[in-house]
Structure 1
Amino acid sequence: MDIIATTLQGKVRGRVEEGIASYRGIPYAAAPFGGHRFRAPAPVEPWDGIRDALEFGPTAPQRPYRPPLDRLIPDVDIPGEECLNLNVWAPGTAGEPRPVLVWIHGGSLRNGSAALPLYDGRAFARDGVVLVSINYRLGVEGFGVFPDAPDNRGLLDQIAALTWVRDNIAGFGGDPGRVTVCGESAGAISIAALLTSPRAAGLFHRAILQSGPPHTVTRDKGARTVRAMAKALRVPATAEGFAGVDHVRLLDLQDELVGGADPVGGGPGFHIVVDDDVVPADPPPPSVDLLLGCNREEYRLWFVPNGALDRVNRLTLRLALLKFRVPGRVARLYRAGRPDAKPGVILGEMATDLLLRGPLNRLADSRLADPRLADPRSGDFRLADSRPGGSRPVDPLPGGSRPARTYLYEFAWRSPVLGLGACHALEIGFVFDNLRHGEALAGPDAPQPLADVMHRAWIGFATSGDPGWTAWDARRPVRVFDHPGTSTVLAPRQEELRAWL
């Protein structure tokens, strides 16, 4: 059955199937080509009549992941210029305004799209949450740093999409006063920047960061990839110079220069830069409720499929530790805790803690009402309340409002596929309660009870700000999602995390 919704730009036609209304490919900004290329997102021209929103819209220009990751992380390529579009899934029946969750996909700021079947929002709509998924500009189009173009254009796209949600989501049954942003990997890194951006103030009220910490670089460092591309193209490192290059050639060169980079091994890539406009240099801690976490063995997505886990020997490990200036006491601690582990496992465990687990813990600490309650260098948390039951109660803020809460999780279930274990991106199918489309990473027999538990936690957080376990305090509670048995663990692997400080 068709259904009509009204936006500020015009009416759109969606479809109701099995009680879920879906709308696909709705433009939230003008096509970023022609006069809009390398510019901030421009408004969509209103349309007359009813616009069909029955198929996914065009995806941002990109090249697929290189083998062997292309078999594990599929890409969807939908041609067309109107790539600044979004999708909505909502309960098909009228009722009270529902909470909204806006999904921002990952992909190292150069891959991914909202059209992946894994990101289907039906389960969220089934359980009373309006799910919005968005596309945004990627690679050099969205995050290339030029002297004659706005920085962080892909981030500006996300802000434009969130503005669309604020202005239009009520017409789809959503509550614009209860918007949660949620993203994984580069999507979570984007959200960490949005949390500090004055441009995004008031556009969302809670945030979920899955496997992506706060990370920005200077403009000079962010421009390195553009300078390398300009040198290869023999054009000026400007937006004007790049605008004259054939579109296919630009994508091919981008893939040649950055396609092999990964978060663990490093290499040239694209980054969110501090520009003191969209992203300030010294932002205060974010003031909304946060749900943060990562997967126990993030590194295995990059170390296992290409055989790097077995290629790393003791000499390779020693050289890597020197390159990244890892203190000897840290390396000894990780080796002592894993006496039978391969050198590749030790390197991967340290990389996961250095790049993800540690930064997320520090972000959680920075938001405590009394930061002295969680000095990560103190193993016994001497400033915590000594009474049975935990830490001192937090006083409400002036006017009776409570301080923002933080919740930490870890995804620990180990996939049997190729020995990937609890690798990067594995949790997404569980969050979306969409294991059928997560089989590439999780296999055909992933535990549905774990998806039930994890999806319900995300629903709870989007609805009330409470995912169902204790908020972060001096005891450092972490919800560990595993099967069988999800539980809350206090200060897991704290000695290793402290060693990095």
Structure 2
Amino acid sequence: MNNVIAPIVTTTAGDVRGVRRDGDAAFLGIPYAAAPVGALRFAAPRAPNPWAGVRDATRPGATPQRRLLGLEPSFPEPTVPGHETLNLNVFTPAAGEPDRRLPVMVWIHGGGFAAGSQASPWYDGRSFSRDGVVVVTISYRLGFHGYGWIADAPMNRGVLDQIAALEWVRDNIAAFGGDPAAVTIAGQSAGAISVMTLFTIPLAQSLFRSAICMSGADRIQSLAEAEHVGRALAVAAGAEPTVAGWSALTEDQVLDAQDAFGIATPPDEIDPAAFVRSALMPPGDQGMPFGPVIDGDLLTRSVGDALAGGVAADKDLLMGVTAHEFTLWMLHAEEHLRGVDVVEAMVEEGLPRELARDYVASHPELPSAAALLGQLIGIRGFRQSMMRWADLRAKTSPDLTWLYDFRWPSPFYSDLGVHCVELPFAWDLLDADGVARTHGPHPPRELAKVTHAAWVAFVTEGDPGWRPWTGGVGMVFNETSREQPILGIERRLADAAAVVWPETKIGRDGARESGSS
């Protein structure tokens, strides 16, 4: 039923009342699973408990995020207290109209698998509603609670949460005007890693038809790596590595122990040549101790292996990166690195001089050694990951993969196109809280119009509007967006690294190989 003042929709667990807005309705904090507390704290998600009457869904639900990563977030990511942390938000122009069958985008937020919030104003779906797309933004358990190894608990609890949310969408989204057969999963950063994980899990294949991967990295742990961290964390926390042992600790005690294994921080002293080699090695854990794990059950192989084997070969995939993902990570060392010749540093580690010169020449916007070295982090972690996945898809799924490179320079970030910079453009939310602080007072509205239109076209039609990837051309988004060659220098660096440092050669699955090339 659709009430003009306060829309009410019936879900499988009970009725929910949203709020009518200008052009759509928002339903906030709807539980898709039971609260992960008590016996469910480290268990696989369970169905939410049904409720009687009409549940209020006009305020954000509780967030799994309890603490920030220790850094000032680049955009608002509110923490909302409460126990029912497994919830989602629905933004729709067709509440209570099951015959509308509009396309659906399910959004998975980033935050290094340790933070992030489904309640961010940067994830408001009003612009997608305007363009006929239903948006669902979901939460999932973070950090150790979501991904930590426990001897007698299921692995990948955060991934299982995401699958449970997609199952909720399958069973309920028609009541909100959405089409359960036209679901696109989308995410950025850790959310994009989640997207590629779901994209290649057999269990999830029936729950979506296409995917958007924004700044994803080839980052899935082995079970041995996860167990090593889990046991070390248990020792640090003074707990037995079992459900009973961890359940004896409060949430704050677990978070205190987790903080000691947090996101890596930049080194104070940097050997430029050694840094070149380490930056171009396989991405490893990307400084993140938690995330999806190849557990032999839910995840049986890496994203690369799954793509090479033809998993999701029938699904459309849009992938992209920003121009300078983590370039700023090294700017703290600008004075320390002043006068360093990056070409010579690359040559010292064995890379061809011509390639080193071409790399520096390809980034005239990076005037310092610190920035040029920092750029290598994003090249290995994000750009080459995307390139490998896209190349595999070009073999198994021709004409179903599209790539983009978002290059708009933010004046707030030294005129660089950094991690997260594309979000308010893709969502067409330049007036959202916090955008003026990170993008300046006048970010280009035409760029938001073009970028958002591509996302809407992909979610709706399965085609963002440019040529599919065949190995060279993608869409470059800036104030004069157009198709052009991308990833040329990244490919040359990957090829050279495999020859110069054969022990760091990247296999098709993104894992480091041993031996010669």
In structure 1, the residue corresponding to 2:50 is in which secondary structure?
A: coil
Letter in 1 for 2:494: W
Q: Distance in 1 between matches of 2:256 and 2:475?
A: 42
Letter in 2 for 1:270: F
Letter in 2 for 1:469: W
What is the Cα deviation at residue 302 of structure 1? Answer: 3.0
Letter in 2 for 1:176: P
Q: 1:17 to 1:209 in 2, by over 3 A?
A: same
Given candidates 431, 434, 438, the residue that maps to 2:429 is 434
Given candidates 329, 332, 342, the residue that maps to 1:302 is 329
Given candidates 144, 149, 160, the residue that maps to 1:145 is 149
Contact 1:301 1:424 in 2 (8 A): no
Letter in 1 for 2:41: R
Q: 1:309 to 1:26 in 2, by over 3 A?
A: farther
Alignment correspondent of 1:75: 77
Task: Indicate whether 1:252 and 2:227 are aligned.
Answer: no
Q: Distance in 1 between matches of 2:203 and 2:342?
A: 43
What is the Cα deviation at residue 260 of structure 1? Answer: 4.5
Q: Distance in 1 between matches of 2:140 and 2:284?
A: 24
Alignment correspondent of 2:446: 449
Alignment correspondent of 1:118: 122
Letter in 2 for 1:8: T
User: What is the correspondence of 1:193-272 to structure 2 with a 5 Å cutoff?
Assistant: 193-261=197-265, 266-267=286-287, 269-272=289-292
Q: Distance in 1 between matches of 2:49 and 2:428?
A: 36
Q: Distance in 2 between matches of 1:443 and 1:266?
A: 29
Q: Distance in 2 between matches of 1:240 and 1:311?
A: 48
> What do the CA deviations read for 1:188-211 (whole angstroms, capped 9, x no partner)?
001111111122121000000000
What is the Cα deviation at residue 314 of structure 1? Answer: 6.8
Given candidates 328, 344, 364, the residue that maps to 2:390 is 364
Gaps of 5+ in 2: 267-282, 496-517
Q: TM-score, normalised by structure 1?
A: 0.86
Alignment correspondent of 1:277: 297
Contact 1:213 1:356 in 2 (8 A): yes
What is the Cα deviation at residue 313 of structure 1? Answer: 5.1
What is the Cα deviation at residue 19 of structure 1? Answer: 2.3
Contact 1:148 1:240 in 2 (8 A): no
In structure 2, the residue corresponding to 1:226 is in which secondary structure?
A: helix
> What do the CA deviations read for 1:118-150 (whole angstroms, capped 9, x no partner)?
111111111100000000000000010122111
Percent identical among aligned pairs is: 41
Q: 1:27 to 1:309 in 2, by over 3 A?
A: farther
Given candidates 464, 479, 482, the residue that maps to 2:478 is 482
Alignment correspondent of 1:382: none
Contact 1:192 1:213 in 2 (8 A): no
Q: Distance in 1 between matches of 2:7 and 2:328?
A: 41
Alignment correspondent of 1:48: 52
What is the Cα deviation at residue 227 of structure 1? Answer: 2.5
Q: 1:335 to 1:456 in 2, by over 3 A?
A: closer
What is the Cα deviation at residue 265 of structure 1? Answer: 10
In structure 2, the residue corresponding to 1:202 is in which secondary structure?
A: helix
Task: Indicate whether 1:28 and 2:28 are aligned.
Answer: no
Q: Distance in 2 between matches of 1:240 and 1:319?
A: 55
Q: Distance in 2 between matches of 1:242 and 1:365?
A: 42
Given candidates 84, 88, 91, the residue that maps to 1:89 is 91
Letter in 2 for 1:126: R
Alignment correspondent of 2:377: 351
What is the Cα deviation at residue 494 of structure 1? Answer: 1.1
Q: 1:333 to 1:221 in 2, by over 3 A?
A: farther
Contact 1:196 1:280 in 2 (8 A): no
> What do the CA deviations read for 1:418-448 (whole angstroms, capped 9, x no partner)?
4151000010011111112323321221111
Task: Indicate whether 1:328 and 2:351 are aligned.
Answer: yes
What is the Cα deviation at residue 83 of structure 1? Answer: 0.3
Alignment correspondent of 2:163: 159
Q: Distance in 1 between matches of 2:224 and 2:415?
A: 36
Larger CA deviation: 432-441 vs 111-120: 432-441
Q: 1:318 to 1:139 in 2, by over 3 A?
A: farther
Letter in 2 for 1:486: S
- Alpha carbon RMSD of aligned pairs, Å? 2.6
Letter in 1 for 2:83: E
Q: Distance in 2 between matches of 1:56 and 1:357?
A: 34
Contact 1:261 1:269 in 2 (8 A): no
Q: Distance in 1 between matches of 2:447 and 2:26?
A: 26
Task: Indicate whether 1:460 and 2:457 are aligned.
Answer: yes
Contact 2:219 2:284 in 1 (8 A): no
In structure 2, the residue corresponding to 1:86 is in which secondary structure?
A: strand
Q: Distance in 1 between matches of 2:125 and 2:210?
A: 18
Contact 2:237 2:253 in 1 (8 A): no
What is the Cα deviation at residue 300 of structure 1? Answer: 3.3
Contact 1:65 1:73 in 2 (8 A): no
Contact 1:62 1:110 in 2 (8 A): no
In structure 2, the residue corresponding to 1:223 is in which secondary structure?
A: helix
Letter in 2 for 1:290: L
Q: 1:321 to 1:82 in 2, by over 3 A?
A: farther
Alignment correspondent of 1:377: none
What is the Cα deviation at residue 359 of structure 1? Answer: 1.5
In structure 1, the residue corresponding to 2:136 is in which secondary structure?
A: strand
Q: 1:467 to 1:48 in 2, by over 3 A?
A: same
Q: Distance in 1 between matches of 2:338 and 2:223?
A: 36
